[in-house]
Amino acid sequence: MISQTVVDGLKPYAIGEKIRALRLKKSMGLVELGKHTGLSAALLSKLERGKLFPTLPTLLRVALVFGVGLEFFFTDERKRRVVAIARKNERIRFPEKPGSSEVAYFFECLDYPATERKFNTFLAEFQDVPPEKSKPHQHPGVEFVYLLSGTLDIKVGNEDFSLEAGDAIYFDSAVQHSYRRIGKRPCEAVTVTLP
């Protein structure tokens, strides 16, 4: 028999609910999960309803089926940051290439306090650099740029695109791309990348 102290200590982790959510996400029944884990459907049902707490080996069997680590089950949902605010005065400004004398843009991470981010959001401030100093780069995923102010030239592959304030562009960031501010006016954009 498990003591009430242990029950109270495990309750916030909602292990049974997490097992159920994983199972339903894969459209899997209890019997099918039982076949993959070697556990009975009745036992799995009790685990999901919180009537029993799994041993670590039992939980590991379930974790392996869904490709998650044991730590997945031990995240206290009350401490998970569902809402995260990045205050302007707390953000840090980084150069595109630290230590370089020619910087095409500076950026600030707009979502750094969020845990389990599905995408990354930045505020980019583009500098006045000669075209030859605007080095192309690439990274897996996609990118979205919304221009807040100024004029920006974005080269994606062999194509050039000119954006004015209020314009937006979405592109495959695995293709080489570069940014270049046009003119002397300040040029800022919100950039979202999704791996």
Q: Where are the domains of the chain?
A: 4-79, 88-194
Residues whose CB is less than 8 angstroms from the CB of residue 84 and which lie 6 or more positions away in sequence, other chains included: 111, 113, 114, 115
Quick: pLDDT tens for 127-173. Answer: 888 777 778 889 999 999 999 999 999 999 999 999 999 999 999 99
Tell me what pLDDT residue 81 has.
56
Alpha carbon 19 to its chain's center: 22
CA distance 191 to 10: 40
How are strands ordered across the β-sheet holding 151-156? Answer: 159-164, 151-156, 177-182
Options 3.30.70.100, 2.60.120.10, 3.50.50.60, 3.90.1640.30; which CATH number does 88-194 get? 2.60.120.10
Quick: pLDDT tens for 14-67. Answer: 899 999 989 998 889 999 999 999 999 999 999 999 888 899 999 999 999 888
Tell me what pLDDT residue 116 has.
67
* Cβ atoms within 10 Å of 173's Cβ, excluding its own: 20
Quick check: 82 pLDDT over 80? no
| CB 28, CB 72: distance < 8 Å | no
Question: 4-79, which class in CATH?
Answer: mainly alpha
Tokens for 32, please give them.
Answer: 């099918």
Tokens for 144, please give them.
Answer: 């979205």
**Which H, E and C letters describe 30-81, residue by residue?**
HHHHHHHHCCCHHHHHHHHCCCCCCCHHHHHHHHHHHCCCHHHHHCCHHHCC
Tell me what pLDDT residue 80 has.
59
Tell me if 4-79 shares its fold with 88-194: no
Write out the H or E segment, with its range, that includes residue 107: strand 105-109
Residues whose CB is less than 8 angstroms from the CB of residue 7 and which lie 6 or more positions away in sequence, other chains included: 53
Does the pTM surpass 0.75? The reply is no
pLDDT, mean over the chain: 88
How are strands ordered across the β-sheet holding 187-194? Answer: 93-95, 105-109, 120-126, 187-194, 142-149, 168-172
